[in-house]
Structure 1
Amino acid sequence: MANGASTTRPSLLEQPVQGSRRLSNYLVATVVTAGGLGFLLTSLSSRLGRDLLPIGHPAELAWVPQGLVMGAYGVAAVLLATYLWSVITLDVGAGSNRFDRESSQATITRRGFRQKIELDIPLRQILAVKVDVRDGLNPRRRLSLRLQGRRDLPLTRVGEPLPLAELERSGAELARFLKVPLEGV
Structure 2
Amino acid sequence: MTDATSAIDVLEQSVLGSRRPSNVAVAVVVSLGGVGFFLTSLSSFLHRDLLPVGHPSDLVWVPQGLVMGFYGVAAVLLAIYLWSVIGMDVGGGSNRFDRGAGTATITRQGFRQLIDVQIPLRDIQAVKVEVRDGLNPRRRLALRVQGRRDMPLTRVGEPMPLADLELAGAQLARFLGVPLEGV
Q: Normalization by structure 2: what TM-score?
A: 0.94
Q: Which residue of 1 aligns with 2:134?
A: 136
Q: How far apart, in 2, do the equivalents of 1:91 and 1:10 lie?
A: 29
Q: 1:97 aligns with which of 95, 98, 101?
A: 95
Q: How far apart, in 2, do the equivalents of 1:9 and 1:103 lie?
A: 13
Q: 1:10 aligns with which of 8, 25, 29?
A: 8
Q: How far apart, in 1, do the equivalents of 2:42 and 2:70 lie?
A: 11
Number of paired residues?
178
Q: Secondary structure at the match of 2:170?
A: helix
| Residue 60, structure 1, aligned to residue 77, structure 2 | no
Q: 2:112 aligns with which of 104, 111, 114?
A: 114
Q: How far apart, in 1, do the equivalents of 2:54 and 2:84 lie?
A: 32
Q: Secondary structure at the match of 2:111?
A: coil
Q: Normalization by structure 1: what TM-score?
A: 0.93
Q: 1:88 aligns with which of 63, 67, 86?
A: 86
Q: How far apart, in 1, do the equivalents of 2:76 and 2:109 lie?
A: 24
Unaligned runs of 5+ in 1: 1-7
Unaligned runs of 5+ in 2: 1-5
Q: Secondary structure at the match of 2:53?
A: coil
Q: Secondary structure at the match of 1:88?
A: helix
Alpha-carbon RMSD: 1.1
Question: What percent of counterpart residues are identical?
Answer: 74
Which residue identity does 1:34 align to in structure 2?
A: L
Higher helix share: 2
Q: 1:10 Cα shift? A: 2.1
Q: Which residue of 2 aligns with 1:4?
A: none
| Residue 34, structure 1, aligned to residue 32, structure 2 | yes
Q: How far apart, in 2, do the equivalents of 1:114 and 1:132 lie?
A: 29
- Runs of 4+ in structure 1 deviating by more than 6 angstroms, as ranges, are none
